[in-house]
Chain A
Amino acid sequence: MRRNDSSGPARPARQRWRWRRAPLGLAVAVLLLIEVYPLLWLFLGSLKTQDEFLNRPTWALPADWLNFDNYVQAWRSGISGDLLNSALAVFPALAVIVVCGAAAGFALEVMVWKGRGGVLLLFLGGIMIPSQMILLPLFSVYFQTHLTGTLWPLILTYVATGLPLTVFMMATYCRAIPRELFEAATIDGASMLRSFWSIGLPVLANAVFTVGLVQFFFLWNDLLIAMTFTSGSGHDELATVQVGLLSFQGRFGTVQYGPTMAAICLNVLITLVLYLFLNQRVMKGMTAGAVKG
């Protein structure tokens, strides 16, 4: 990089740019190859039989391109119900996390009060708690309060485990908001609470979607919490997608590769659609944010 920089101002700018772009283009191509290959591998895998998995090389193409048995089997295992459960648990939790997290981050960074550093550290402490440790007490509490057997334990635990990171990140993003914005609003007679809604949140839109995206994938891919709180008391119908994926594992950890991958492909397809949708919003948020500058 440095060598390119010092390669003289004499050269026309455009040519210099092309020079720089060539290796970069190659790097991006390699990067994409590394990232896209597994997608392809997954999809090809979802068309293979167990025999092909065990006895043919990993990169071999499926023997029958129209072999959708795995998808049929994956669908029959109740993946649609699992998807609904995941959505019912993750989205409400996500909404709460983002709104409460943004509010708290705002209170901790924009508002001025004694002890806010301590409270921020307290939240930060949450990132350090291994979630295996809170399972036993929470299980007791949920059981005693008769929440076991519903999706509530999942939603509540997701909210609590998602908050520390969200609050911390929101506080970080809030630092970048110019304080003059609020001063102007205050002079116009708006309360801070109003300012948070009408100025803070819109300015934070970009951050909100980024954090929301990050949290979405954490919650969507969670296995430990879902496993602990959804099954075990006669409530298999509460299984989430990740728990459902385990049903393709046989005794001694034998995996039925084809149906597993078919189920993963369906799962990935849905998350990908969601991601593309959210990604659009992030771009919109960015352009909205550009107004502030």
Chain B
Amino acid sequence: MIIKTARKRRQAVLAGLCALGLAVSLSGCGGDSSSDQPTGGQAEFSFLGMPENTTVGSVLSTVAAGPCASTVADYPLKSSSQPQASYDQQLQLLAGQNALPSLIFAANTPSLAIELHDGGYLVDIDQALAEVGAAGAILPAAESVLRSLYGGDLFTLPAEFNIEGIWYNKQILADHGIGLPATWDELTAANQKLADAGVQPFSVAGSGGDGWNVTRLVGNYIFRSLGADALSQVADGKAKLTDPGYVAAAEAVSAWGQAGYFGPAPTAVDYATAMNTFLTGQAAFYYMGSWALASFNDPAQNQIGADNIGFLSFPNVSGGKGSADQVPANAGMPLALSTAGYGDGAKAWLSCLAQNYGTVALRDMGQITGFRVNDPVADLPALTTEVQDIIANAPSSVLWFEALFSAQATTTAQTNGGLLAEGSISGAEFMDAVQADLG
């Protein structure tokens, strides 16, 4: 505390000095004039988006123009955006000034979001929802994913709810007489059969930080072989990734890489290319989350036809403790409300979003969210309905490989995913590197 006040004082002194200097330098250097007035009043509802994610922004403006027009009219939406790559930095800078916008994405890394919450920067959602009379607006399945991701607390809103699994090209499997694999070994056999026939079995991305879809395979293998709590034990320090059971998972994926199942050069493939490889019929399997439905349902991108795509739950590992009905799930990039921007406007907006977000996102964007859908939406594409059913019927869910890891370990895992898929590092080397950053 003493340090904090000392720091504050030093900051104030420096700030004063610099402000003085700015004034001097302004008159000294005589710069030109620029536009703009200071920030507007308290009445607006500010949102910090990302150019990469246009869904949330358009849902916000749709509800403001439509169903909530009367309730949020006094609190106009003011959105700005920050690229995903520098989003966390901006959150830290803004939080440091206690100037977070009312509605934000809950950071790229869960650990930063938890830090923000611990520092009192984020609103507790269950209390807030109860306060605006919207308790129960979040689906239990989504709430449980959010709680397990963020250390048991609920301070985020599930603007998305996705399941993940292996999508397959029905035509290719039929052409090669391959039935749906139920275990990892059967999937490996199917891969081999396809590779022998000259077809790339699996499409993955592994360039830069895109290797996360490779580490998902490792994570799911671990859930299937060691059980649903295997990775939280690692996060708690009760187990290590370098333990034989964990290393076996990475070795299994590395073996696929060495066998060439991921194509000739996974480290050169980015997300868009991997998606395109699958949607142009050049690969049989593709591990991805259900957010990809937007692309699957888009005829311009999907050249194999939406009817031709099937969903396969991540298979069992023989003799493993997990089971294939534990569906990998996530809440995409959840939203959060900042305490700094939480006033009457934010409350009106929260009440409106609780009521309408699920419906509008599903109807207008085809996006499945973790909000209750209050008005049934008709005419959904078949694949979307199928995914909705799987979500509704899944007895339990699991997170993903890096979900509970520190930011360092997450970066290390995701940037090394490509090398693992290329088979150029062994599973043991991969796990060593990630474990080293877990501390």
Chain A residues packing against B (C-beta within 8 Å): 50-51, 54-55, 88-89, 91-93, 95-96, 100, 135-137, 139-141, 143-152, 155-156, 159, 227-228, 231-236, 238, 243, 246-247, 249-255
Q: Are B93 and A228 in contact (CB under 8 A)?
A: yes
Other-chain contact of B94, A233, A238, A254 (Cβ < 8 Å): A233
Complex CA gap A147/B26 in Å reads 12
Q: Are B34 and A155 in contact (CB under 8 A)?
A: yes
Other-chain contact of B29, A159, A232, A255 (Cβ < 8 Å): A159
Contact A232-B80, Cβ < 8 Å, known A96-B29, A136-B96, A156-B25: yes
Contact A156-B22, Cβ < 8 Å, known A145-B15, A149-B39, A250-B52: yes
Q: Are B34 and A234 in contact (CB under 8 A)?
A: no
Contact A151-B18, Cβ < 8 Å, known A233-B99, A236-B80, A246-B51: no
| Chain B residues near A252 (CB-CB < 8 A) | 52, 210, 271-272
Other-chain contact of A151, B19, B22, B35, B270 (Cβ < 8 Å): B35
Other-chain contact of A100, B29, B83, B210, B270 (Cβ < 8 Å): B29
B78 interfacial contact with A, CB 8 Å: yes
| Chain A residues near B11 (CB-CB < 8 A) | 140
Q: Are B93 and A249 in contact (CB under 8 A)?
A: no
- Chain B 78-133 interface residues, beta-carbon cutoff 8 Å to A: 78-83, 86, 89-90, 93-94, 96-97, 99, 101
Q: Are A136 and B34 in contact (CB under 8 A)?
A: no
- Chain B 9-27 interface residues, beta-carbon cutoff 8 Å to A: 11, 14-15, 18-19, 22, 25
Q: Are B34 and A232 in contact (CB under 8 A)?
A: no
Shortest Cβ distance from residue B101 to the other chain A in the assembled complex, whole angstroms: 6
Complex CA gap A141/B11 in Å reads 9
| Chain A residues near B80 (CB-CB < 8 A) | 231-236
Chain B residues packing against A (C-beta within 8 Å): 11, 14-15, 18-19, 22, 25, 29-32, 34-36, 38-40, 44, 46, 48, 51-53, 78-83, 86, 89-90, 93-94, 96-97, 99, 101, 208, 210, 270-273, 275-276, 280, 291, 300-301
Complex CA gap A143/B52 in Å reads 26
Complex CA gap A50/B295 in Å reads 13
Q: Are B15 and A151 in contact (CB under 8 A)?
A: no
9 more contacts with CB within 8 A, not counting A148-B39, A149-B38, are: A50-B300, A55-B276, A95-B32, A151-B36, A228-B93, A231-B81, A232-B93, A252-B272, A253-B210
Q: Are A88 and B34 in contact (CB under 8 A)?
A: yes
Complex CA gap A152/B38 in Å reads 12
| Chain B residues near A156 (CB-CB < 8 A) | 22, 25, 31
Closest 3 CB pairs of A and B: A92-B32, A252-B271, A151-B34
Please name the residue on chain A nearest to B50 by beta carbon.
A251
Q: Are A140 and B86 in contact (CB under 8 A)?
A: no
Complex CA gap A243/B82 in Å reads 9
Shortest Cβ distance from residue B335 to the other chain A in the assembled complex, whole angstroms: 15
Shortest Cβ distance from residue A54 to the other chain B in the assembled complex, whole angstroms: 4
Other-chain contact of B52, A95, A144, A151, A251 (Cβ < 8 Å): A251
Give the interface SS of chain A, mostly helix, strand, loop or mixed. Answer: helix
Contact A135-B93, Cβ < 8 Å, known A55-B276, A151-B35, A231-B82: yes
Other-chain contact of A145, B19, B34, B101 (Cβ < 8 Å): B19
Q: Are B271 and A227 in contact (CB under 8 A)?
A: no
Complex CA gap A149/B32 in Å reads 17
Shortest Cβ distance from residue B288 to the other chain A in the assembled complex, whole angstroms: 10
Please name the residue on chain A nearest to B40 by beta carbon.
A234
Please name the residue on chain A nearest to B15 by beta carbon.
A144
Contact A143-B99, Cβ < 8 Å, known A227-B82, A231-B81, A234-B44: yes
Please name the residue on chain A nearest to B276 by beta carbon.
A54
| Chain B residues near A137 (CB-CB < 8 A) | 14
Other-chain contact of B280, A55, A143, A159, A250 (Cβ < 8 Å): A55
Complex CA gap A227/B85 in Å reads 10
Shortest Cβ distance from residue A138 to the other chain B in the assembled complex, whole angstroms: 8
Q: Are B81 and A236 in contact (CB under 8 A)?
A: yes
Complex CA gap A228/B90 in Å reads 7
Q: List 10 A-B contacts (CB under 8 A).
A: A50-B300, A51-B300, A51-B301, A139-B93, A228-B89, A247-B51, A249-B83, A251-B52, A252-B210, A254-B271
| Chain A residues near B301 (CB-CB < 8 A) | 50-51
| Chain A residues near B40 (CB-CB < 8 A) | 234
Complex CA gap A233/B32 in Å reads 23
Please name the residue on chain A nearest to B54 by beta carbon.
A250
| Chain B residues near A243 (CB-CB < 8 A) | 83
| Chain A residues near B97 (CB-CB < 8 A) | 139-140, 143-144
Q: Are B96 and A139 in contact (CB under 8 A)?
A: yes
| Chain B residues near A233 (CB-CB < 8 A) | 39, 46, 80, 94, 99, 101
Please name the residue on chain B nearest to A95 by beta carbon.
B32
Q: Are B79 and A236 in contact (CB under 8 A)?
A: yes
Q: Are A159 and B79 in contact (CB under 8 A)?
A: no
| Chain A residues near B36 (CB-CB < 8 A) | 149-151, 238
